[in-house]
Structure 1
Amino acid sequence: MNFKDLNIIPPIMKAVEQAGYTKATDIQYQTIPHILNGNDVIGCAQTGTGKTASFAIPVLQLLNQNQAEKKGIRTLILTPTRELAIQISENFETYGTFLQLKHLAIFGGVPQGKQVAALNKGADILIATPGRLLDLIAQGCIKLSQIEILVLDEADRMLDMGFVNDVKKILTKVPAKRQTLFFSATMPQEIRKFAQSILNKPKEINVTPVSSTAQTVKQSVYFVEKAEKLNLLINILDDQTINRSLIFARTKHGADKLAKKLIKSGIHAAAIHGNKSQNARQKALEDFKSSKIRVLIATDIAARGIDIDELPHVINYELPNVPETYVHRIGRTGRAGYEGVAISFCDTDEKKDLKNIQKLIGFTMPVASQNI
């Protein structure tokens, strides 16, 4: 379906077209009409399917309808990581470019001064990580009494990261009468139960089977022992036609160690994880997006905010021990209609993890040969 068929107002439609989009994804064309009708929504779609635009576009339109009458923060978007908050803010910048609505992202890991100064200038839409939001509420810098729309984005990751109590505290600060939108890439039973407890007669949108992987991603696995992984990785990265590769490590220490080894072997690489400063993380991400570095090594939490349409290559240097995490990882490639490649390394100790992943996704990965 085309965006033109979704009753989107001209200024947003102009911004959508300027961004180069004409066709809505499944989650977008199924979700946008329900949100515009004022319904609560549970949206479940694999990562990389355009979930952010599916709430950003209708939120902008709803707020624009009675903009002159309302003051203060009218929409709150909760998200688990700094990177994701920045990505969502960029989406609102893109789609709201011809509107007078103001948006602001706040998150921890940086001094709060600039964020407080921006809050004092006013914002219609606040994008926030739970910890920093609660800090600023406690300091009297933020009031949520005018909230009309509450969005929980990447809800599964937010609750996985232990934010459930913070989210419950925030729910007590927003009006009971509101529109609530709940988006998640996976929908385990405990997440669904939580969603049902905070939504009012929600419309549920499932555009793909829970925890399925995109058809645009070509998946394969190498059986390789731990000591041989580095050599195999360097061998793969020697292919200069691969302009960007996102590599997943399980730990922050492991990500740093691997980055140093790749740099030593002559491959431009950087690591991104929670112990890095916000500036260092943003610089690594920008260098990766602009192809100044070919390889970005990430931990799972840091990678949730990486949104690059043309990312051809994801490598699981170490398999995750939570099967759903695999879906999130490889969802970084094969986005926006582009094709992608996802390669996994599996050593003897990881064979159980591989079995669990393949059971979850309902797909047995082809085994790749090391003779490359």
Structure 2
Amino acid sequence: MAATPALIHVESIRTAVPSRVAGAGLSLPITVSGPPLSAAELQRRFRAVLYYRGAGVREPEAAARERAAWVNESLSAALVDHPEMAGRLRRRGDGDDGRLWEVKLRDTGVRLVQASAETTMAAFLEATGKDRERKETALAWWTDVDVDEPDICAPFFMQLTRFQDGGYAIGASSSLLLADPLSLISFLKSWARKHAQLQAQNKLVANPVIQYTRYLQNPGAAKRLKSVPLDLGSAAAAAADATTTVLFWAANVSDHRGLAAACVGKACEKLGAKEPPRRFTVVGPLGRDGSGGLNVQACTADAQTPCHGHGHALRVANWREAGLEELALEGSKPVHVSYCVSPCADEGLVVVMPAGGTELLISATLPNYM
């Protein structure tokens, strides 16, 4: 008799909005060089999951709700300094050709999901490689961006999942049109600092602000909204299983198409691919620092440079260099951090990220079948 699969229970979905008006009315342009963005292409995203040890015992419901309340409060405070993370994707201009987009800073907020897992964190982390990547889709909620009404869909989710042994996970999923991986990591670091500051300030007052949060005293607050098997297959899980991401450092140059092609070539060599993908997309900043918005370029095989990265000095990188392993919550660093770039099926995806100064971090995600 087959064992009953462990479940993930979604207990609440709320919205963390900036604690004061930030960036209202502003927008960041997105220019598409190539075919209009399809529904599938709007789901390109980056996921990070951070795991933290707990007390070694099942956490009481009240303590879990209090942690979720703190996350909600600190997210609202952090969004004041990063209003773009609370924005929404939408088409801009009068045309409807799918090539002119923007991130509208509307203070709409970040979706915050609270969940629990019918397993221990220790048991969950025993899974490795692609097996764990597939299961991790349940730890970082995502709802597809609607191609017809994108502005009603949240492009950024954070999920707080508690395990049966007291451990917990913070999962973040962000559209690559909203934030590149380095930008998301930078926001998470800023949020963690704000989280620590608010908790420290709270200890100095007689009546902690968190105590008046109504849903902490509401017995129905933890009502389950949805329960799904932990190892349930999904399009995102299949995409993660079918691709591999390689990272590179490179000098900051304006020719992102040529640099991306060189990274695809080097990634092919590293992965032992027989040939490069027939098509790949480059997502990168407009300008050297990304302040001018985002550019999405479609590239085909005949536009690629040979698989040796000629003309570009590339150095293989890894996600640990971004520093997310140092992100401390409640005085503890994560015991493990996972990263995943979700592209469209059957194509390559290159994300060019300004890293400050004169360097770029580039992720090249390629199909495994090549």
Question: 1 or 2, which has the higher helix percentage?
Answer: 1
TM-score bracket for the superposition, by shorter chain length: under 0.3
TM-score, length-scaled by structure 2 = 0.26
Q: Which has the higher contact order (CA 8 A, sep 6+)?
A: 2
Question: 1 or 2, which has the higher strand percentage?
Answer: 2
